[in-house]
Every structure is written in structure tokens, then in C-alpha cells.
Chain A
Amino acid sequence: MLTLRNITKSYAAVNGEAPLTVLNLPNLSIKAGEKAALTGPSGSGKSTLLNMIAGMIRPSTGSITLLNTDIAKLSEQQMDTFRATHIGYIHQSFHLLPGYTALENILIAMRFANSFKSSQHLPRAKELLSRVGMEHRSNHKPSQLSSGEQQRVAIARALANQPSLILADEPTANLDAANREKVLTLLIEICSDLQTALLLCTHDLSLVKYTDRTIQLHEGSSLFEKEKRIHVSY
């Protein structure tokens, strides 16, 4: 379902220095419904890779194919719609829109995709909130929700358009131990139920047990040369 080939990301040289390569990934593929953990120390390029798969950063070289579409070749507008429709993104800091209720946060996510008719938006948003156990908090704004509750809403929002792939960037890093377990279990459970692939980015190795496999990114010894190398292990 998701295939990455010979992906690199480099930044232009500054003050005569050599170009900075922050990611160099030969191959990576994720099957439909598969749950994979992407681990590695801070600065190893995990978030960069996720942003690249989400189409928010363009790779310097290589191709990213999701659902048989080379997303690197999509225009920005096409990518926006593609992302809204096929990719759900869960952030470490939840990134719910302040000023909007939990329900509205989900409705807004549905507004920009072509997955459902407008008439289906409200019932589906309510159903998703119910699925993450937040139906009683649907009219509350993010500031009125606890961290765990916010992340549950963020999960519901990521699922709003029935995506094929969920990208979760350190989804439990801002949660306490009790909530971490609950939220992650919920996320894995829903992804399993819906047969949605999950790429879980974390530096917490204790979480890898929830996933089908682990992809480990290592910062290469060539960092000094402004280069990071990535090893993929199964």
C-alpha cells in the first residue's frame, strides 16, 4: 500500500558548506492494515519521514507511492485533497483547533476531503466520538478537555475520512502513563477494526509491542558530514 524508494532529503548548502542530508532511506513498504512502529532517537528523521509521507515535505530524490499514487508527483492542491482523503495524522501535541468543539474539529477534517457526502458528516462525526468514548464531550472545546481526552478526539479526527493510513507522531508523548496505555490501545484497536495501516513514530521502545513490526532509524556516523543514515530492521 505504501512504498518508499530511495528517499533522500537534503537542504541546500549554507556558507559554502556541503548540502545537509537529513534523510536517506533506500526502501520501505507498509501493507494495507499493517501496524508499524518507527523508532529512533530524537533528530533521526522520524518526523521528517512522516511529513514526507503526508506530502507536507517533498523528498529531494526518490518516490513515495501510496495507494498506487506517486505523491511526490502530485501538485500541492492535489496533495492537499489526497492527504485529507487517504491519510490521517495524529500529532504529539494533539493539534486540535482551539475555539472549535470536539465535534467541529472532526467536521472540519471532513470538510476538506471527498470521502463522504455533507449529509453524512454529522452522524459520522458523532459516531467517531462515540467510538473513542468522547460523545459526552462533543461540545467541549480543547481547552476544556484533558490531555487524554484531546488525544482521543485527535484520533477520531484522524479517522474522520476513513483513511487508508494513519501517521501518528509520538501520539502518547504528552500523556501520563495511564492515559498512554489507554490511548494507544484504543488507536491500535480501531486501526485493526477498520483495517487501517498505522505508522507509529515513537522513541519509546515500550510501545513497539503493540505493532506488527518495528522500523528503526539510526543516526549515521556520518552526521559530522551532515548526513544521516537509516537502517531498516524487521
Chain B
Amino acid sequence: MSLISMAWRNIMIRKIQTIITLIIIAVGVALTLSTLIMASGLKEGIVEASKPYGMIVGSKGSANQLVFNTIFLMDTPLGNLPLSFYESLKTDERVKQAVPFALGDSYKGYRLVGTTGEFFELRSKPSDPPYFQLLEGSFFEHPFEAVIGHKAAEATGLQIGDTFRSGHGVVQALEDDDSHAQHPYTVVGILDKTNAPADLGIYVSMESYWISHDQMEGLEEHEEVAHEELEELEELEEHDEQEEEQGVTAVLVNPYGYIGLMQLYNEINNGNQAQAVFPGQVLAKVFDMMGNGELVLQYISYVVIGMAALTIFLSLYSSTLERRRSIAILRTLGARRKSIFAIVMLESFLVVSFGSLIGLALSYVVSAGITSVISGQSTIAIALTFSWDHISVISIVCLIGIIAGIIPAILAYRTEVVRNLNSV
């Protein structure tokens, strides 16, 4: 009979204590790992979503806002960059690809993005296939053709061949879908799922975007504002008004090399017309903010793990006291002190290992459950991926559990044979 099977048997003898200890360890580990899995999965999802966009150039203002506009299709757009600025970037010899990106109109709350066909050639890595793939149909070739994101298609019910009319800005579009009634768009393509906010976009050509806005200006000159609500909306439309000059909200820049990239970055940011941002840097700041909440959860899980260590200690300590006679019998049978020490340490190791494994499984189940619940509400795909960090957490928990077993093991090691044999 091996020492490990003896240790296992000893654990099984005190089932209730063992189960309680296992539960506490499992909860502590699950709490810690779920926090890590969810946080890292969310970060990974966001980073993945930002990869195709390269360096983003937009008007001076909030870098966060620029990234949120472009990658998440959220927030009020910054003021437009003049078309000439975009063209100068496009012709810059250091720039491999400059893709215009214009926000303004929307349909049923889903934003229209004015861009060019190059947008659909963006890649996460040069060796990767294009990030945007068609699920059906084709990319736009003519004005007033639209390619819609997967989630936007699902939500709006638009299909190939359908037509729709956009509204000016997000707010007005929700109030009144007919503001651009003279420019119906025809759906020519539906994008495959990217599991990113890009799924929410409706992509049209720049020409459509500009024509639409020129006509919108003409239309607005002849319209009287009848409702008080519309006056209130004017403030919200302030930024949308700025887009009505021919320009772009942002330019997605992919340079030929790193040196050129950094030169451009510095030149643009040192100028007074535009800013250049790397999504990764901006997102890192966002992650730092998320980190505070993550830290609170982690502290809670550390407390639970501490409790688990204390439970292991108390369980082993009391059981060692209870079975001093058994230990003395083992010594009589020839068990060495170090064998006794090893048995108690193995008990500690087995309990903490099983508890950690249960916790690991539980953490994935919990994370998968939470992900499935929030996936319906979020466009960011939370990837449940294995990470060596999880093994590190489990190793630390095991180490803590083993440390908790040291004092009871020493107590067992020092058990005096004759005295405990004779105590009935």
C-alpha cells in the first residue's frame, strides 16, 4: 500500500471535513479564475476587434472618443478631417493603405459608415485573410449600395436587395427615418460575423455619404422646424453638423514600416490639425480602469483562498491530534517519521489539488455561463481560452495548501510512539 493511497484513505475517512474543505478551495479558485478568464477574454476580444484598424488618425480631441467612434461605432464623432488631409495621407510615400472612415447617418440606430472598398481589405496581420468576409452578396461598387454588418442585418431584418433610408445622426434617425428619404440605399452584401462591434455597422461608399449630406443640407434649408424636441436635438447634432462639409471622421492608416509609422505618428500629433492614436495604447488605459474592478474581485477571491488554507490547516491539525494513536501504530509497524510527515503532506496536497481542479472546472462553467448570457447583449466576443496564468493560480493555491499542511505534518512527525500507544 503506497503512501499516497494511505493519504487518500485518510482523507476519505473524514468525508465531511474533506468535502467542506474542497468546496471552500473550489469556490476560491473558481472566483479567482473566473475573474481572470472573463477579464482576459474581454480584453482579448477588444484587442482582436481593434487589430485591423492600424493607426487611427482623426481630428484633435479625445483619443478615447476617436477609438470609440472608429472601433466601437460609439460616442459622438469628433469633428471631420478635411478631405485634403485624407488625400495627403493617401499619397504619402510611407503609407501603404489609408482608408477613409466617416460616421454620421444611421438606420434604426445602426450607424452608417462611409468608406471605400479598401476597408474590406483590412487585415489583423499582413499574413491573415481580410478581416471582413462576405456572408452573402457583394461589396458595394456604386453609390447608395450598402454592405451591412452581421448583427445589424439580424437586428434590422435587412436582406440582399432590400432598400432603406438613413436618418441624419443617431438620435434623429431614431426619431425620424425619412430625413434622407430621397436617398434609399440598396443592400448588396451582408458581412460574415466578426464578433466585434464592426458587426453593428452599415457600410456605404464615401460618395453616397457625401451626396447624402449635400442633399441633406439642401433639404434642411427648406424645412421648418416645427417641434420643440427638434430644437433640443440640435445640441446633440452639433457634431453631425460638422460632418456636413466634405471630410472624413477618421483615416485608418497602415504604413509600410515601423519607422515610417512612428514618423507619421509624431508629425501628425505635433501638428495642430489632427491626432494619431494607436488603439492598443488607448485600450490599455481603458483596461487599467477595468483593472480596478477586477482587482476588487481578486482581493475577495484571495480572502476565500486564505479561508481555504485555514480550513485545510484546521482540518489536518485536528485530524492529526485525533489520530496520534494511529500514527503511533504506524510507527510501531516500522513507518519512519518522514513517511508519517509525507502522508500528512500528501493529504494536504490531494485535498488542495482536487479542490483546485474542481475550481478550475467550475471557473470555466461559470465563465461560459456568464459569456453566453452577455453575448446576446455585447458585440465583443469573450474568448474562453486556456492561459498559463490559470496554472500559475492553481500552483499558488496548491502551494498555500501545502504550506497549510506543514504544521500538522510536523505535529504528526513528532508524535511520541509509546505515550500515544498506551493512551486509550
A residues bordering B, Cβ < 8 Å? 47, 51, 54, 56-57, 76-77, 80-81, 83-85, 89, 91, 93, 95-100, 104, 107-109, 111-113, 121, 157
Contact = CB atoms under 8 A, between A and B. Distances in A.
B418 A108 contact: no
Nearest to B2: A111
Nearest to B337: A76
Contacts of A56: 331-332, 417-418
Nearest to B327: A97
B326 interface: yes
A171 B335 CA distance: 22
A234 B334 CA distance: 32
Contact of A100 (B9, B331, B337, B421): B9
Contacts of A96: 329
A41 B260 CA distance: 102
Contacts of A157: 333
A174 to B, nearest CB: 10
A80 B421 contact: no
B16 to A, nearest CB: 14
B127 interface: no
B6 A108 contact: yes
B418 to A, nearest CB: 5
16 contacts: A47-B422, A56-B331, A57-B418, A80-B331, A80-B335, A83-B334, A84-B333, A89-B333, A93-B424, A95-B329, A95-B421, A97-B329, A99-B13, A99-B326, A107-B1, A111-B1
A189 B339 CA distance: 34
Candidate in B6, B329, B331, B333 with the most chain A CB atoms within 10 angstroms: B333
B320 to A, nearest CB: 14
Nearest to B338: A77
Contacts of B337: 76
A89 B332 contact: yes
B131 to A, nearest CB: 61
Contacts of A97: 326, 329-330
Contacts of A109: 333-334
Contacts of B2: 111
Which 10 pairs, one residue from A and one from B, show the smallest C-beta to C-beta distance? A84-B334, A112-B334, A99-B13, A107-B1, A109-B333, A95-B329, A80-B336, A111-B1, A56-B417, A80-B334
A66 to B, nearest CB: 14
Contacts of B179: none
B64 interface: no
Contact of B418 (A51, A81, A84): A51
Contacts of A108: 1, 6, 330, 333
B1 A54 contact: no
B163 interface: no
B334 A85 contact: yes
A44 to B, nearest CB: 15
A111 B6 CA distance: 11
Interface string B326-365: 1001111111110100000000000000000000000000
Interface in B1-17: 1-2, 6, 9-10, 12-13
Contact of A54 (B9, B12, B332, B422): B332
Contacts of B336: 76-77, 80-81, 112
A85 B329 CA distance: 15
B6 to A, nearest CB: 7
Contact of B333 (A51, A77, A99, A112): A112
Contacts of A113: 334
A57 B339 CA distance: 20
B14 to A, nearest CB: 9
Contacts of B330: 97, 108, 112
Contacts of B329: 95-97
A98 B334 contact: no
A54 B418 CA distance: 11
Contact of B326 (A77, A83, A98): A98
Interface string B399-424: 00000000000000000011001101
A99 B418 contact: no
A47 B417 CA distance: 13
Contacts of B333: 84, 89, 108-109, 112, 157
A51 B416 CA distance: 13
A89 B417 CA distance: 13
B421 A91 contact: yes
A88 to B, nearest CB: 10
A99 B18 CA distance: 15
Given A89-B332, A109-B333, 4 more contacts: A54-B332, A80-B331, A81-B336, A99-B326
Contacts of A76: 336-337
Contacts of B13: 98-99
A132 B334 CA distance: 22
A157 B424 CA distance: 20
Contacts of A121: 1
A144 to B, nearest CB: 14
The interface centre, meaning the residue of B12, B329, B336, B418 with most chain A CB atoms within 10 A of its CB, is B329
Nearest to A111: B1
